[in-house]
Amino acid sequence: MKKADIAKLLQAYKDGTLSEEEAVDKIAETPFEEMQFAAIDHHRELRQGMPEVIYAAGKTPGGSTTKRCWKKYPKQNMMK
């Protein structure tokens, strides 16, 4: 989540288009997604200014790590 995303979320809550529960759920999303073989840092861009980089040697485009990242960040650059 980027700072701009948080600002939009708060504005939506203020405008009444997002409930308090929905806003809290989005903000409280776990910053790390624990998988059996990796932990994806979803809040890294907010803290560091650069999103998580996943070294994917040997990973397939249809693998679970790649699918989770594409689902969560559909507009981010995914390189092969």
pLDDT digits (tens, 9 = 90+) for 55-69: 667 766 667 766 776
Give how far Cα 5 sits from Cα of 26, 27, 43, 48, 68, Å.
10, 10, 12, 16, 19
% pLDDT > 70, the chain:
71
Quick check: 66 and 56 in contact, CB under 8 A? yes
AA identity, residue 50:
M
Res 45: pLDDT: 78
Quick check: 12 and 40 in contact, CB under 8 A? no
Res 73: pLDDT: 67
Kindly list the domain boundaries of the chain, sorted by start residue: 1-29, 31-80
Res 62: pLDDT: 67
Among the listed residues 33, 8, 2, the one whose alpha carbon sits nearest the alpha carbon of residue 23: 8
**pTM, 2 dp:** 0.45
pLDDT, tens digit (0-9, with 9 covering 90-100), for 18-38: 999 999 888 877 677 777 777
Six token digits for residue 25: 């759920």
